[in-house]
């Protein structure tokens, strides 16, 4: 870890890089932005923005349950809850033929209400209310190592199974006729989103986590012509708004996550304007 | 066209019930290789449901058997499917290569293009006169172009049975005629059985080798003349 810190200081000899919390935050953004950027491409293609929003909200219940079971078990309980919630949400979404958005909304409301109720009851609400907006500067060394592991796992998953996910997204029946296990992959994808949300929620915040996933991909989709440029632009936009957002927030005292989302929003509207030019 | 008669797909007693409502009842018919079997029926007759059952997409009773009479044994059937529509909008960043590769390969399409795979896909598309479209975005293709590309995906690798859901809109008259000519070539060249759900009786009259009239159950099956002259057909569509 110290070696990485030294490298960061040498490559980026700026004032803000002297602080350990800034180095950690910088590393976290380098790891998490590309993950959200690539997961976002599929979330946007599948019109799952609302679905991932609900997964974000479910994190609050996960935290609440974790707080009851004690801090030592918190990560595990959050993780288990995320997996169960993701599978349940997927199941209900597939079972109902009418208005999936209504069902998802019901789930997400219950998750928030349950989370708030449990936290208030156990008297720890104030302690955890920071999860609503998150605090990237509080990220620790251990969490960065977790993130690094997640980073590797998501990229392996993406490299091995992206084509199948894309095939399902275009037409699930056709995918099935080609021997692709649609249900299993659907669930795996939902679980990965849920787990990534859980890992990141503490420093991104429930209110903004979905924007971090959706905006880079949505911006990229405005101007990309194929899957390669779609991914490349999405990752570039996410890293750019992540790093620049962190630096601006250091100098202006604006919280980091909102700053990142504001920048992503600006990029979205620029690409939206450029769309007509690119697509002629 | 004389079928070689050595391969046969037997569709036996397919029944589908959804929430106690019978959608399909004991649908039974044979499909021979080199034959274009077209399924007709009114809206709500269960045509799409039958396709879903054949693709194992919904719960059903009954079975689909593929028999190779040359070796006189049952084989696992390979089914190719051409869907009616795709979940793709205009300007979506999915090229024809991206889509095709996603269905036939695990080499990630978000990474660099695989030269071998690119060549192979181009070769497949060429059979259907669509090789020039390989770098186009799927969402910006015309209905006829898209149909040819879907057909080339469905026929790689060559299936025993090809199932098609005819698009209701988006394909012009010439495109439709070309499409049926391609189908005719396919069934002759590869000795393929084809099941097609059609909404256009004129085309059925012109191209079908066999017609199945469906209304929750098989009302009538046979050649175009047998079905179109039958009382069941008149009950269903009136005199045309």
Task: Of B55, B73, B79, B64, give the one whose Cα is nearest residue B29.
Answer: B64
DSSP B202: H
Contacts A174 to B, Cβ<8 Å = 81, 83, 103, 150, 153-154
Give the 3-state secondary structure of residue A243. helix
Condensed to tens digits (0 to 9), the pLDDT of residues A2-43 reads: 788 888 888 887 777 888 888 999 999 999 999 999 999 999
Average pLDDT of the residues in A47-75: 80
Which residues of chain B are within 8 Å of residue A171 when distances are taken between CB atoms? 83, 86-87
Give this complex's ipTM: 0.87
Which region holds residue A260: left if phi is over 0, alpha if psi is between -120 and 50, else beta? alpha
Distance CA A79, CA A59 (A): 9
- Give the start-to-end residue ranges of the domains of chain A: 2-273
Residue B1 has pLDDT above 50, yes or no: no
- A38 touching chain B per CB within 8 A: yes
Which pLDDT band holds residue A115 (cuts at 50, 70, 90)? confident
Domain boundaries, chain B: 1-78+161-172+193-240, 84-157
Q: In this complex, is the C-beta atom of B157 within 8 Å of any C-beta atom belonging to chain A?
A: no
State the nearest Cα–Cα gap between A47 and chain B, in angstroms. 10
Minimum Cα–Cα distance from A46: chain B residue = B87
How open is the CA angle B51-B57-B63, to the nearest 5 degrees?
A: 70
CB spacing of B109 vs A167 below 8 angstroms: no
Q: Best residue in B55, B99, B103 to probe A by mutation, most A CBs within 10 Å? A: B103
The shortest C-alpha distance from A179 to chain B (Å) reads 9
Quick one: which of A32, A53, A40, A25 has its CA closest to A233?
A40
Interface contact flag, A227 B153, Cβ < 8 Å: no
Q: Do residue A228 and residue B108 have CB atoms under 8 angstroms apart?
A: no
User: CATH top-level class for B1-78+161-172+193-240?
Assistant: alpha beta
Which CATH number describes the domain made up of A2-273? 1.10.3470.10
pTM (two decimals): 0.89
- Alpha-carbon distance A139 to nearest alpha carbon in chain B (angstroms): 31
Taking phi over 0 as left and psi of -120 to 50 as alpha, with beta for the rest, B43 belongs to beta
Question: Would you call B48 an interface residue with chain A, using a CB distance cutoff of 8 Å?
Answer: no
Nearest partner of A256 among A243, A265, A266, A269, judged by Cα: A243
Per-residue confidence at A232, pLDDT binned at 50, 70, 90?
Answer: very high
Residues of A in contact with B95 (CB under 8 A): 225-227
Rounded-to-integer distance, Cα B23 and Cα B57, Å: 15
Rounded-to-integer distance, Cα A197 and Cα A213, Å: 9
């Amino acid at each position: 870890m110290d070696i990485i810190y030294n490298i960061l200081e040498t490559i980026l000899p700026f004032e803000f890089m002297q602080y350990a919390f800034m180095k950690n935050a910088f590393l976290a953004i380098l790891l998490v932005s590309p993950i959200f950027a690539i997961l976002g491409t599929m979330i946007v293609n599948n019109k799952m923005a609302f679905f991932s929003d609900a997964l974000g909200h479910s994190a609050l219940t996960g935290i609440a349950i974790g707080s009851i079971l004690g801090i030592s078990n918190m990560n595990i309980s959050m993780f288990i809850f995320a997996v169960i919630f993701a599978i349940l949400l997927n199941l209900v979404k597939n079972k109902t033929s009418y208005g999936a958005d209504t069902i998802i909304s019901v789930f997400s409301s219950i998750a928030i209400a349950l989370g708030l109720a449990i936290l208030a009851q156990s008297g720890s609400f104030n302690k955890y209310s920071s999860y609503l907006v998150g605090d990237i500067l509080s990220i620790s060394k251990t969490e960065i190592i977790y993130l690094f592991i997640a980073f590797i796992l998501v990229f392996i998953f993406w490299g091995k199974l992206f084509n199948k996910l894309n095939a399902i997204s275009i037409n699930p029946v056709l995918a099935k006729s080609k021997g692709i296990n649609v249900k299993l992959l659907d669930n795996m994808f939902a679980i990965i989103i849920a787990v990534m949300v859980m890992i990141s929620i503490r420093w991104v915040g429930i209110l903004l986590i979905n924007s971090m996933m959706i905006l880079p991909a949505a911006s990229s989709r405005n101007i990309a012509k194929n899957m390669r440029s779609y991914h490349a632009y999405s990752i570039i936009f996410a890293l750019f708004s992540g790093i620049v957002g962190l630096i601006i927030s250091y100098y202006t005292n604006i919280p980091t996550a909102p700053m990142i989302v504001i920048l992503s929003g600006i990029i979205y509207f620029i690409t939206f304007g450029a769309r007509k030019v690119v697509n002629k | 066209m004389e079928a070689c008669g050595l391969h046969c797909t037997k569709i036996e007693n397919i029944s589908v019930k959804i929430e106690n409502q019978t959608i399909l009842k004991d649908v039974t018919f044979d499909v021979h290789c080199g034959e274009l079997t077209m399924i007709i029926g009114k809206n709500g007759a269960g045509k799409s449901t039958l396709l879903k059952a054949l693709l194992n997409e919904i719960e059903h009773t009954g079975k689909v058997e593929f028999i190779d009479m040359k070796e006189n044994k049952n084989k696992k059937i390979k089914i190719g499917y051409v869907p009616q529509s795709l979940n793709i909008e205009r300007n979506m960043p999915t090229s024809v290569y991206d889509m095709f590769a996603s269905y036939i390969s695990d080499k990630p399409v978000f990474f660099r293009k695989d030269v071998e795979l690119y060549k192979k896909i181009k070769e497949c598309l060429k059979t259907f006169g669509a090789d020039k479209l390989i770098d186009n975005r799927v969402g910006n293709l015309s209905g006829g172009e898209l149909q040819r590309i879907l057909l080339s995906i469905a026929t790689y690798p060559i299936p025993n049975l090809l199932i098609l859901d005819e698009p209701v809109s988006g394909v012009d008259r010439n495109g439709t005629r070309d499409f049926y000519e391609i189908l005719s070539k396919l069934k002759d060249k590869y000795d393929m059985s084809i099941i097609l759900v059609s909404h256009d009786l004129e085309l059925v009259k012109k191209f079908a080798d066999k017609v199945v009239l469906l209304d929750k159950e098989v009302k009538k099956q046979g050649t175009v003349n047998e079905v179109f002259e039958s009382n069941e057909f008149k009950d269903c569509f009136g005199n045309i």
